[in-house]
Structure formats: C-alpha cells, structure tokens
Amino acid sequence: MSTTVMQQKLSKDDTDRFVTTLQHNEYPQVNTMTTTSNQQKLSKDVIDGYVTTLQQVMSNLEVFGDVTTLDGHFTFESWKQELTFLFKVYNLDHFVTYGVDGFEFDESTTVAHQRRLISLMENVVNAAVHTTVSAEIKKEAGLLFGRDRYLAVVSLYGEFSLTIAAQLLQKHATGSDKSYETMCQLFTNLFPKINSADLGGLSAMMNLPDNHWASIETAHRTKCLTNPATKFTFEQVRTYCRGLSIPWPSSFSFFGLLNYNESALYSSSSRTHSGFCNYCRKKGHIIEDCRKRKARQARDSNGFSSNSNHKSESAQFATSDPQAPSTGVSSTDYFC
C-alpha cells in the first residue's frame, strides 16, 4: 500500500513567523457560543438616578441653548459634536446609539420603571432636536419623535458629497464673510471632511455652472467603481467635461485666491520678458512677439520684396546699440 503525504515546505522566515505567533498565543480561537453584547444592564437604583437627571433636564431646556443651531451641512459637525457631549453628560449616549435594545433590566425593575425611563429618554432627545434644529430641517425630517427624529436628521445631513463640498466652499470660503465665527465653522465642519486630493477637482468644478456639478460627481463615482484609485483632480474634471459635453471655461479662480486665464497662459503673445528686444530695441518682450516686427512682416507680405526685407531686418537685428542694456546674449539669439 502506498500513501500520499501532503507536505508544506517552509523557509526560515516562515518558520520564525510561526514560532513567534505560537509564543504569543496569536493563533485562531475556536468558535464558541460566547457573544459580545452591547446591552447595558440597569437596576432599579440606576434607573431612579437616570430618571431624576432627565426630569431636571426637561424642566430646564436651556441646557441646549448654547448648542450650535443646525441649519444645514455647514453647521452639522458642530451641532452633532456638541449634542453628543450633552447626551453623554445626561446618560443618553447609549440609548441614542442602541435604542431600547441596548438595555437589559434586572429583576429589581418593574415594567413601569422601564417604561418611565424610556419615555423620559425619548422626550429629552426630542426636546434636544426641537431646540437646536431649524424649522426647515425639522420639517424635512418628517413627523418622527425622539430618537427616531434625531437619527433622521443625522441621516439627512451626515452624508457629505463633492457637490455639497463645492456648494459650501463657494458660499463660505470664497465669500465676503471672513469673520472669526465663519472661519471656525469652516475648520470644524468643512475642511476635515474634504480629501486634500480632491481640492484640484473641487476648484475646477466651482468654476463651472452649478447645474453640472451633480453630473460630474456621478461620472466620478462611476469611474471609481472600475478604478477606485481615481483622484478627483483638475485634469480629471476636464476629462469628465469632455465626456459630458460641458463647455470648459477659459479663465479660472482657485477658491477666490488665485486667478488665471487659460488661453493667455498658452498664448505666446501674452509672454513678457525682463530682457531686451533686439528688433525694436525696447524692453519687456522678445523678438518673436515684437509688434513692430510683425507689422513690418505684414507690410512685406503685401508686395515688398521678401529678400530685400529679410536683409534689412537682419541688418537691423544685428545692429548694436551702445545705449541698450546688456542682456548677456548674442545678437543672433531670438530671446533677450
């Protein structure tokens, strides 16, 4: 009888790694029936303490008066952070995260105790939303109450897209309002959410009509499905515009800080030079951009002898001017 032995060949590095793993007991654990629960066990005494605290909050809703009012994406992070802190102070954080299923009541509690606690928690969370959220957003969240109302608001404004980022940047970062409060809101609510790799694409998109922003973002999301490493760069937005037949502007403003004209950037007539033109003997441009030379060439093309004109032009180009500043180049160079 013959048997086939399945052998695994190990190198020295493999052996060392296995030894280290076994020494530190980092081997896979056997699956057992033990489960990790997110439930918080509450006794009657704990419930009574919670109830007392929540009743005090309901009698003085001014505790939410200093929370930043949620009126849109621009204030969402500040609002959520401040409200989360207060929820933690008043023992509501576990309820907001897990709901009723997050609690386990021991045998010392009655159904009445449990209902009283949950009812108070729902009322305090609802009061927090009612006090700190604008009327428009509360209407947008729908006819919900308590924890469900809070989660609906978070769901509406917790999502952050490139289009939303462009809208907020255009309204706040490039606007006239440069107050301290606005700057704080920008650094708290907006900048941490924006990937630095997306800034080029955002700046390009902000120079386009806003009715095209959503289609550009959709094109980018579609591209990322096939190539997740795709960055939202300036050139990538230009590619999307070509595919969507969106006109590409000739001039751009980068977040209101830097402006440039793209057609002028690549136009030879827009270039200036700090040297000296060896044709017209003036500073500020090079010979190939000299207007006097171009005018002379235009006249020559209308009937003058090209050979004689070429000679006269060459002679003028080669003539030295003792009053002309030294440029460090020979008279045969085209660049000053």
- What digits encode the pLDDT tens for the residues 41-53? 999 999 999 999 9
Domain membership flag for residue 30: no
What mean pLDDT is predicted for residues 174-189? 65
Give Cα separations from 67 to 58, 70, 154, 324 (angstroms): 16, 9, 15, 70
The pTM is what? 0.53
- Is the pLDDT higher at 48 or at 266? 48
Domain membership flag for residue 132: yes
Mean pLDDT for all residues in the chain: 76
Which residues, other chains included, contact 61 with Cβ-Cβ below 8 Å and sequence gap of 6+? 127, 131
Residue 100 shares a structural domain with residue 173: no
Residue 148 shares a structural domain with residue 172: no
Domain membership flag for residue 210: yes
Assess contact for 42 and 103: CB atoms under 8 A: yes
Say yes or no to pLDDT of 218 above 60. Answer: yes
Residue 75 shares a structural domain with residue 124: yes
Assess contact for 70 and 134: CB atoms under 8 A: yes
Say yes or no to pLDDT of 83 above 80. Answer: yes
Residue 154 shares a structural domain with residue 169: no
Band (pLDDT 50/70/90 cuts) for residue 261 is low
**Start-to-end CA span in the chain (Å):** 93
Say yes or no to pLDDT of 319 above 50. Answer: no
Residue 254 shares a structural domain with residue 276: no
Among residues 139, 158, 177, the one where a domain terminates is 158
Domain membership flag for residue 2: no
Give residue 274's pLDDT.
Answer: 53
Chain centre distance of CA 228:
17
Domain membership flag for residue 20: no
Domain membership flag for residue 25: no
- Max CA pair span of the chain: 114
Residue 333 shares a structural domain with residue 232: no
What secondary structure, in 3-state letters, does 159-180 show?
CCCHHHHHHHHHHHHCCCCCCH
Assess contact for 126 and 145: CB atoms under 8 A: yes
Q: Which domain holds residue 75?
A: 40-158
What mean pLDDT is predicted for residues 211-235? 91
Among residues 100, 125, 158, the one where a domain terminates is 158
Domain membership flag for residue 168: yes
Q: Considering only CA atoms, which of 331, 335, 302 is closest in space to residue 318?
A: 331
Residue 138 shares a structural domain with residue 176: no
Give residue 31's pLDDT.
Answer: 36
Residue 253 shares a structural domain with residue 323: no
- Is the pLDDT higher at 85 or at 325? 85
Give residue 249's pLDDT.
Answer: 86
Q: Which two tokens stand for residue 246?
A: 């969106």
Residue 56 shares a structural domain with residue 147: yes
Assess contact for 73 and 159: CB atoms under 8 A: no
Give residue 212's pLDDT.
Answer: 92
Give residue 7's pLDDT.
Answer: 53
Residue 46 shares a structural domain with residue 152: yes
Q: Considering only CA atoms, which of 104, 138, 100, 137 is closest in space to residue 119?
A: 100
Quote the number of domains for the chain: 3
Q: What percent of the chain has pLDDT over 90?
A: 37
Domain membership flag for residue 26: no
What mean pLDDT is predicted for residues 192-207? 84
